[in-house]
Amino acid sequence: MDLVYNPAEDSYLLQKYVEKLVYGNVINIGTGTGVQALTAARKNEVSKVVATDISINAISVVKELVERNGFSDKVTIIESDLFNNIYEKFDWIIFNAPYLPSEKALVDSTFDGGKTGKEVIERFLIQATNFLKENGRILLIYSSETGITESYGYKWIILEELHIFFESIFCAMLEPY
């Protein structure tokens, strides 16, 4: 089933830093319901937003919200698995990644980050530098459950940690080395 991730604590944590930090050309990978894309679009410092998702249902939801909020000229919506259909560079990449290990994902693709929970994030990190402008940055949400370790060619700055249930959720800003 083609599911759409509903905003939760991790979404609101990320949204706080989208409001504070992003500017210029922005891409929201895995946009879900479009919370981050719309938050970025509302900022005067943001000139363009690209919202992507692998889910056709998410794309439909975001198209409707973008039109309803009057951001059709500022937000482009693209169906894409991470960067597969992206051909430009951005000042900011925003990603609330699916980060739970498959066995804990409750058969929900919006949470399922792969067998260990970090496979989707690793794919993202390997590709992301190709889509960042000079001095570009990434805002990433991930969980202590992924077992992800820092680096992958980035300087990691943990902006905030939020403890929820059995895990800690991190909002990190990444800068390529």
Please, what are the domains in the chain? 11-176 (3.40.50.150)
Angle (CA) 65-71-74 rounded to 5° is 130
Average pLDDT over residues 4-24: 89
Q: Where does 5-150 have alpha helices with state H?
A: 9-21, 35-41, 56-68, 119-128
| Residues 174, 151 contacting (CB under 8 angstroms) | no
Nearest to 40 by CA among 52, 27, 29: 27
The values of phi and psi at residue 7, to 5°, are -55, 140
DSSP annotation of 152 reads T
Helix/strand number for the chain, H first, E second = 4, 7
In this predicted structure, what is the pLDDT of residue 153?
Answer: 92
The values of phi and psi at residue 78, to 5°, are -135, 130
**Amino acid identity, position 29:** I
* Pick from 52-56, 124-128, 163-167: least confident: 163-167
Whether residue 1 is predicted with pLDDT greater than 50 in this model: the reply is no
CB atoms within 10 A of CB 105: 17
In percent, the amount of the chain with pLDDT more than 90 equals: 72
Top-confidence residue, 56 or 119? 56
Full-prediction pTM beyond 0.85? yes
In this predicted structure, what is the pLDDT of residue 167?
Answer: 85
Per DSSP, the three-state class of 55 is: coil
In this predicted structure, what is the pLDDT of residue 112?
Answer: 54
